[in-house]
Amino acid sequence: MTRVRQQGGDNWRRIRAIAWKDLTTERRSKAGFNAVVSLGITILVLFGFALGPDAQVLRDAAPGALWLAVLFAGVLAFNRSYQVELDTGALEPLLLYPGARWTIFTGKLLANMLFVGLLLVIVVIAGMVLFAVKVPDAWPTVIAVLALGAIGLVTLGTFYASMASRSRAREVLLPLLLFPMLVPVLLAAMQASKALIGADMMLEAGAWIKMLIAYDIIFVLATHLAFEHVIEA
Amino acid sequence: MTAPASSSAIPVPKAGSWPLFGWFTLAFMVFSQWYAIATSPADRDMGDLQKILYVHVPASWIMSITFALVFVYSLLYLWKGKDSYDLLAASSAEVGATFVGLTLVQGMIWGKPTWGVWWTWDARLTSTLVLFLVFVGYLALRAFIDEPQRRGQWSAAVGVLGSINVPIVWMSVRWWRTLHQMQSTPQTMDPTYRNGLLINFLAFTLLAVYLIRRRYEAAMIARAAEMTSQAAALGGH
Amino acid sequence: MTHPTDDVFAIEAQSIARRFGARWILRGVSLHVRPGEVVGLLGSNGCGKSTLLRMLATLLKPTAGSAAIYGHDVVTEADEVRRNIGFLAHTPGLYDDLSARENLEFAAEMLGGGHEDIDALIERVNLSHVRHERVRGFSAGMQRRLALGRLMLTKARVLLFDEPYSNLDTDGIRLMNSIISEAARDGGAALVVLHELAPAAGLLDRTVTIRDGRVADPTAALLAEAALASTAGAASTASTASTASAASAASISVVA
């Protein structure tokens, strides 16, 4: 019993150490985060041009534009998270620490969650201003939807980047693997956001939220199970 | 201290009676297509356009089979680590991608006269396209990785996750938009069409089994040849 | 922690082999290292030395054959093996944007140990003056010292070093040698991949030469050891000529 608790404590320490290390290196090379956020906002502006200046059209398209901006900008973050390990061959020492290797994945997942979470907050605020979206009455639920969508996005993004970042043509491989897999998350998050911003159809949003929860649980578990096989190869 | 680096490390599967099976499948396919087309009357609304049903629906059925095979063989590879499971998963994915591509093209050919457009964001068409892209990602990953063990492990992980996602994609796209006609399953169908469809399900299944098997043989032979030439070059056993 | 008994080898490899795709890099190598031994691993570039080391370190799975560290199989008991080995690769594997001390703190967290020894370790690898500076500005030799400090945190008993002397100055070489001989004295062992024997003079108990993915025939190994002995004698002249290549040249003449 104490051994189990000891192991749990060790795993938690490792998760925390990885997340701290990723966030610290990210914070110190500020260029990374600023560039990614700038890209996200640029994409929003481009969507504005593509959809025309009509306020109602923009408002209707806002959830889709927001999520795509976060998706395209976030993809850069996922590969970066492994680039830190690969630049100086730090992945090998990481694999040589005794103990469970899924903790490496969990740590990176938490760090990327924070990274993408901040990105999401900034892009959403920018998007609400640019696309003239009012704060919806159901804003706590909107935040929950954003968080659930982000979990799905970051889980699969962090997982696929562990392969793509170590392959040839990583820039194209990650989106190619990731985007089709994320179709359910994007649909659910966009539709739920749209329903909530439209301040109606609580029922419809509820169904999408349930789907998001199921998706998140399934893929958080599956990626943790598969990570050991992927990282050792 | 014997080197295990012999060329016989990979057992090459024997063709056996599979070529015969291939000829039989071909004959059976010709028969079942002829049977289906000959016995079914022209549809009240769609006329002879309805005949595409006998290639379209079985082709999309093969898609489900191959996804299931990719899932099973990928799990087996992760569990047992045998090369053959990896190559079987890959062969299933290649055959699956081909049939999904066919399904999409047939859907568009059917859609043009029926809906008046080549493409519509109908639930089944859209989810089939998304699943096609999942297959493409799987095959692209394999193409980008040279080291077989790494390729095997990674593509197995991608194959398992992709297969898990199939029902979720299906459901989410369906919720997103449903304006397709009721699903064409044998139960909801006039018996005059049903037999033709059933026999073609069987024919297409045989075809998929044959193609996967032959593709797998070719992949194993290619790998064994690679090893033999390498062993010869090194002057080993 | 298990304690070594006399009949357990520190490192034991049985016909271990590895291929990358169709290419056999290692074609069946057997190797036994007793506790207390320091063994040099020689061979030309691409002969499979590093591959052997990485398989012993659980970073690569053998295609065939098996290996064990203190009786723990490198595949089935990989975690126990990782508790016993210290692996030093070509690349230092440090985080550029963390300071020297933070790099070691991170390692201590990952190992589940305390932070008490860290300052002493930094002192030992002679980096106290830059402990709070980021690794990005370190020279290659300083990075290697820090990697050595991280390795000492693991309290590893079996050292697997891949060309540990590159980029090190005389002090660094002395430090490296003292760490290796301390490990051997405490009942551990070391397998060191070398390109030149000079820096390891007086340290090695014997050498093993790998050629074409196999252990080279004993004659060549003997010649290499003879060369080693003569280098050890001539160590004071501090010749940096590659005795490894001299040894392989000698073995070629024997074959001819």
Asked whether residue B10 is assigned to any structural domain, the reply reads no
Asked whether residue C19 is assigned to any structural domain, the reply reads yes
Quote the pTM value.
0.85
Q: Does any CB of chain A come closer than 8 Å to the CB of residue B149?
A: yes
Strand order of the sheet with strand C72-73?
Answer: C23-33, C11-20, C64-69, C72-73
* Residues B39, B192 contacting (CB under 8 angstroms): yes
B165 chain-A contacts, CB cut-off 8 A:
181, 184
Q: What is the mean pLDDT of residues A7-33?
A: 87
Q: How near does any CA of chain C get to the CA of A228, in Å?
A: 12
Residue A147 DSSP SS3: helix
Task: Indicate the number of domains in chain B.
Answer: 1
Residue B179 token pair = 């304006």
Q: Does any CB of chain A come closer than 8 Å to the CB of residue C21?
A: no
Interface of B with C (CB under 8 A): 1-5, 146-149, 223, 226-227, 229-231, 234, 236
Span C175-223, pLDDT tens digits: 999 999 988 888 889 999 988 888 887 888 888 888 877 887 666 556 6
Tell me how many degrees the CA angle B74-B79-B84 measures, rounded to the nearest 5: 55
CATH number of C161's domain = 3.40.50.300
Contact call for B4 and C21, based on CB within 8 A: no
User: How close are the terminal C-alpha atoms of chain B, in Å?
Assistant: 13
Taking residue A115's Cβ as centre, other Cβ atoms within 10 Å add up to 23
In this complex, the chains that touch B, judged by 3 or more CB pairs closer than 8 A, are: A, C
Residue type, B205: T
* B146, B231, B234: residue with CB nearest C21: B146
Check pLDDT > 60 for residue A94: yes
Lowest mean pLDDT among A189-203, C17-31, C95-109, C157-171: A189-203
In this complex, the chains that touch A, judged by 3 or more CB pairs closer than 8 A, are: B, C
Q: Which residue has the higher pLDDT, B122 or C224?
A: B122
The 3-class SS string of chain C reads CCCCCCCCCCEEEEEEEEEECCEEEEEEEEEEECCCCEEEEECCCCCCHHHHHHHHCCCCCCCEEEEEECCEECCCCHHHHHHHEEEECCCCCCCCCCEHHHHHHHHHHHHCCCCCCHHHHHHHCCCHHHCCCEHHHCCHHHHHHHHHHHHHHCCCCEEEEECCCCCCCHHHHHHHHHHHHHHHHCCCEEEEECCCCHHHCCCCCEEEEEECCEECCHHHHHHHHHHHHHHHHCHHHCCCCCHHHHHHHHHHHHHC
Q: Does any CB of chain C come closer than 8 Å to the CB of residue A91?
A: yes
Residue C227 token pair = 């060369």
B5 chain-C contacts, CB cut-off 8 A:
17, 19, 24, 27-28, 64, 213
Asked whether residue C4 is assigned to any structural domain, the reply reads no
Q: In 3-state terms, chain A is what percent helix, strand and coil (to 5)?
A: 85, 0, 15
Query: Residues with Cβ < 8 Å from C256, sequence gap 6 or more?
Result: none
Asked whether residue C30 is assigned to any structural domain, the reply reads yes
Residue B148 DSSP SS3: helix
Q: How near does any CA of chain A get to the CA of C254, in Å?
A: 40
* Residues C52, C216 contacting (CB under 8 angstroms): no
B231 chain-C contacts, CB cut-off 8 A:
24
Domain assignment of residue C124, given as a range: 11-221
Q: How near does any CA of chain A get to the CA of C97, in Å?
A: 5
Q: How near does any CA of chain A get to the CA of B149, in Å?
A: 7
Asked whether residue C60 is assigned to any structural domain, the reply reads yes
Span B73-114, pLDDT tens digits: 999 999 988 888 999 999 999 999 999 998 888 888 888 887
- The Cα–Cα gap between C159 and A187 comes to 53
Domain assignment of residue B141, given as a range: 18-40+49-236
Check pLDDT > 50 for residue C251: no
What is residue C101's predicted lDDT score, i.e. its pLDDT? 93
Q: Does any CB of chain C come closer than 8 Å to the CB of residue A92?
A: yes
Q: Does any CB of chain A come closer than 8 Å to the CB of residue C102?
A: yes
Question: In the A/C pair of chains, how many CB contacts fall below 8 A?
Answer: 76
Task: Indicate the number of domains in chain C.
Answer: 1
Closest-CA residue to C5 (of C26, C35, C40, C31)? C35
Q: Which residue has the higher pLDDT, B49 or C121?
A: C121
- The Cα–Cα gap between B111 and A208 comes to 29
* Residues C41, C210 contacting (CB under 8 angstroms): yes
Contact call for B140 and A219, based on CB within 8 A: no
- The Cα–Cα gap between B58 and B205 comes to 8
Given its phi and psi angles, is residue C28 left (phi above 0), alpha (psi -120 to 50 degrees) or beta?
A: left
Q: How near does any CA of chain B get to the CA of A226, in Å?
A: 6
What is the residue extent of each domain of chain A?
2-232
- The Cα–Cα gap between C32 and C189 comes to 11
- The Cα–Cα gap between C152 and C83 comes to 12
Q: Does any CB of chain B come closer than 8 Å to the CB of residue A213?
A: no
Give the pLDDT band (50/70/90) at residue A219: very high
The answer, yes or no, to whether ipTM is higher than 0.95 is: no
Q: How near does any CA of chain B get to the CA of A6, in Å?
A: 29
